[in-house]
Chains A and B, each alone.
Chain A
Amino acid sequence: MKNVLQLVWLIPLLPLIGFLINGLFRKQLSKSLTGIIGSGVILGSFVISLLIFLQVKAGHTAVVNLFDFIKVGKLSIPFSFQADQLSSLFLLIITGVGFLIHVYSAAYMHEEEGQHFARYFAYLNLFVFSMLLLVLGSNLVIMFIGWEGVGLCSYLLIGYWFKNVDYTNAAKKAFVMNRIGDLGFLLAIFWIINQFGTVTYGDLFKQVAEKANTLEGGVVITGITLLLFVGATGKSAQIPLYTWLPDAMAGPTPVSALIHAATMVTAGIYMIARSNIMYTLAPTTQAVVAIIGLATAVFAATIAIKQNDIKKVLAYSTVSQLGYMFLGLGVGAYTGAVFHVMTHAFFKALLFLGAGSVIHAMHHEQDIRKMGGLKKYLPITHITFLLGCIAIAGIPPFSGFFSKDEILAAAYAKNPVFWFIGVATAGMTAFYMFRLYATTFLGQFRGAEQLHGHHPHESPVAMTLPLIILAVLSVAGGWIGIPEVLMPNAHALEHFLDPIFAESVKHAHEGHHLDHSTEYVLMGASVGLAVIAIFYAIARYSKRPELGEPTGFGKVLANKWYVDELYNFIIVRPLQWLGKFLNSFVERDVIDWTVNGIGRLVGYSSRQVRLLQSGQVGSYVLLMVLGILAFFVIQFFVKK
């Protein structure tokens, strides 16, 4: 059975095949066949991932070398896959959640035309392929290929309904924002090649650990990690590059669930977790990561409180939760961050799919002010959505509690201020999630106008089944990481991921472990705040939801702190102005003038010279004679 590890290349290959079939034969395949192929390949990948996970759990890891990708001089970049603890965990999340979302999509997108339906599945498969490449690659360059691939697929899927200009603009925004981050990543790779001559994880991290002791090495590593982090802020939607993620909700809802909540946006977390040793050796970068993460968490949470689009709330909540993960990475709680990636993938995919189910039932209405009272009409969606909300709010024993608690405990050990802000954010999270829940599912039904008097109906089984599975995972997913204080030796995930983070733990300055009573207090505080927020939100919004336009400070929040406007003002406008200036002055008055001037000069001079050709033979001869005379005269003087 050890050979299973050698089959790791099949995992990304299957979605690639699915992409090719669905993409090339999109006009021939029937819708059901497309759905079966699209989901089937992911299921195949999931089965292999599961086998590999079991192997890795038994203690086997492998680097599978497929072929040489780049070989120049001393630099050798193999195309190879790495099956170890971290990648196998991500494989399970991607293919598992991915498969559920594929099944869900088959039902959700059923109204689409056959050809576009196949295009959708082709993009989804390509996305899963890229994401698997990102996670499996055994060096940074392969990761970068996957990194770019997911960026591209994100662009394609956000702009899936390409006839809507707003949607294509959102797609462009996502692409450009991602490119800004990617540039940082690319520069980091170049710098790494320049400094260490290798991009393969194993060699690289060994060299980094040796080099970090020197002052110069420390500076270099800090610079590299900061650049890598720039890449992560782009892909994982952190300040200042986060604005694309809420706009990315223009894509179909299952895409938001898969790409913009569960998988792609966690690529930055994966990258930092993968290169954890470099971050541990660069405390400055770690502090930056923690502060940016925390700031993003708070900032996005405040915005989420006043959003009225069901998907926008979830989008800002995703940004906020990603901020938590970065906080975890920044304070050295790598396991906690990866744990939160996993639980977040479960409950955020659940919430998005639940939102999709609501949108489906409401005939593509996304404004929660026009919903309300859906509890009665969508029982399964309601229950699963409620479970997801509780999970994200961090109520024990739901999964979100354990992962969030681990990050918060580590943050407290690092700096109590981090903890305090983190808990405040957790309270806000509970508040806005239950504001969303109460406005959508409780109270009176307000959508009769939208549905022309009909009642909304529960979604088909292909949509509710993934919801149920994800709900179970959201409830139980946290039990693999129960903290030491509640149940000794129950943190299975930490033991599992030990080999990945062992080096960092060794290098990290002796973290002061919290004593048990402190931990109980911290947990109690965060849970207590969450419970208060939940009851306050339900009490406030179930009977009298906020239907009017927000005023005062609420308006600032509803308009997202005017960050888009600010970016427009300080970046887009000056760039447009510069472009206009370059176009109207440099292009027209300098470059065009020069080029046209040369043409005009040639034309003018040839018009003048043309006059010499008069056709008078005598004048030609005269010129010849004058020329020869001039020649003689010149020679006469030069000789002298």
Chain B
Amino acid sequence: MNIEYYIVLSIALFCIGITGVLTRRNAIIIFMCIELMLNAVNLLLVAFSKMHHLKGVAANPTAGIDGQLFVFFIMVVAAAEVSVGLAIIVMMYRNVHSVDVNFLNRLKH
């Protein structure tokens, strides 16, 4: 399959993620949008990794493999982030009975 399809799909996912983060006020949806952006990047990394692997495997059997390694890192970090982030959201809901991020701008005071 052509690499362009993957790129276009990633960009689409990423833009959906950004738009979601910018427009939505529900913390959980923002969270999900962030995950969407991360996974758009993951998809791109895997796609490029595969592409380089196919091109360079004759000379080097591990060519392009590091792209996939990064994806694992990102997934681990994302998992950790989700656990922390969800905990924050739970605490937030317990305190203010809302998950609206705009409601939290009192933090600056």
Contact = CB atoms under 8 A, between A and B. Distances in A.
Contacts of B23: 618
B108 A615 contact: yes
Contact of B22 (A613, A614, A615, A621): A621
Interface string A601-621: 000000000000111111001
Contacts of B105: 614-617
Nearest to A614: B105
Contact of B104 (A614, A617, A622, A625): A617
Instruction: Pick the most buried of B22, B25, B101, B102: most chain A CB atoms within 10 A of its CB.
Output: B22
B22 A622 contact: yes
Nearest to B23: A618
B99 to A, nearest CB: 13
Nearest to A619: B22
B101 A614 contact: no
B18 A625 contact: yes
A88 B102 CA distance: 97
Nearest to A617: B101
Contacts, number: 26
Contacts of A618: 21-23, 25, 101-102
B101 A615 contact: no
Contacts of A622: 22
A615 B18 contact: no
Contacts of A621: 18, 21-22
A621 B22 CA distance: 7
Contacts of B18: 621, 625
A614 B108 contact: yes
A67 to B, nearest CB: 71
A630 to B, nearest CB: 15
Nearest to A622: B22
Nearest to B34: A621
Contacts of B108: 613-615
A613 B105 CA distance: 10
B21 A616 contact: no
B107 interface: yes
B106 interface: yes
Contacts of B21: 618, 621
Nearest to A625: B18
A622 B18 CA distance: 9
Interface string B88-109: 0000000000000110111111
Contacts of B104: 615, 617
Nearest to A621: B21
Nearest to B25: A618
Interface in A183-240: none
Interface in A322-353: none
Interface in B14-35: 18, 21-23, 25
A613 B107 CA distance: 11
A624 to B, nearest CB: 9
A618 B102 CA distance: 8
A615 B18 CA distance: 19
B7 to A, nearest CB: 15
Contacts of B101: 617-618
A625 B101 CA distance: 18
Nearest to A628: B18
A401 B104 CA distance: 106
A618 B109 CA distance: 17
Nearest to B27: A617
Contacts of B109: 615
B63 to A, nearest CB: 26
A616 B107 CA distance: 10
Contacts of A614: 105, 108
Contacts of B102: 616, 618
A552 to B, nearest CB: 87
A609 to B, nearest CB: 14
Contacts of B22: 618, 621-622, 625
A613 B108 CA distance: 8
A617 B30 CA distance: 11
A614 B101 CA distance: 13
Interface string A528-561: 0000000000000000000000000000000000
A46 B23 CA distance: 103
B100 to A, nearest CB: 11
Interface in B53-109: 101-102, 104-109
A614 B106 CA distance: 10
Contacts of A625: 18, 22
A616 to B, nearest CB: 6
Contacts of A616: 102, 105
A209 B102 CA distance: 95
A614 B107 CA distance: 10
Contacts of B106: 615
A622 to B, nearest CB: 6
A622 B108 CA distance: 18
A195 B107 CA distance: 76
B35 to A, nearest CB: 15
A71 B78 CA distance: 74
Contacts of B107: 615
Interface string A149-173: 0000000000000000000000000
A458 B93 CA distance: 108
Interface string A341-369: 00000000000000000000000000000
A402 to B, nearest CB: 98
A622 B107 CA distance: 19
Nearest to A613: B108
A343 B32 CA distance: 111
Contacts of A617: 101, 104-105
Contacts of A615: 104-109
Instruction: Pick the most buried of B25, B104, B105: most chain A CB atoms within 10 A of its CB.
Output: B105
Given A617-B101, A618-B21, A618-B22, 20 more contacts: A613-B108, A614-B105, A615-B104, A615-B105, A615-B106, A615-B107, A615-B109, A616-B102, A616-B105, A617-B104, A617-B105, A618-B23, A618-B25, A618-B101, A618-B102, A621-B18, A621-B21, A621-B22, A622-B22, A625-B22
The 10 A-B pairs of least Cβ separation, nearest first, read: A615-B105, A615-B108, A617-B101, A621-B21, A622-B22, A616-B105, A625-B18, A618-B22, A621-B22, A615-B107
12 contacts: A614-B105, A615-B104, A615-B105, A615-B107, A616-B105, A617-B105, A618-B22, A618-B25, A618-B102, A621-B18, A625-B18, A625-B22
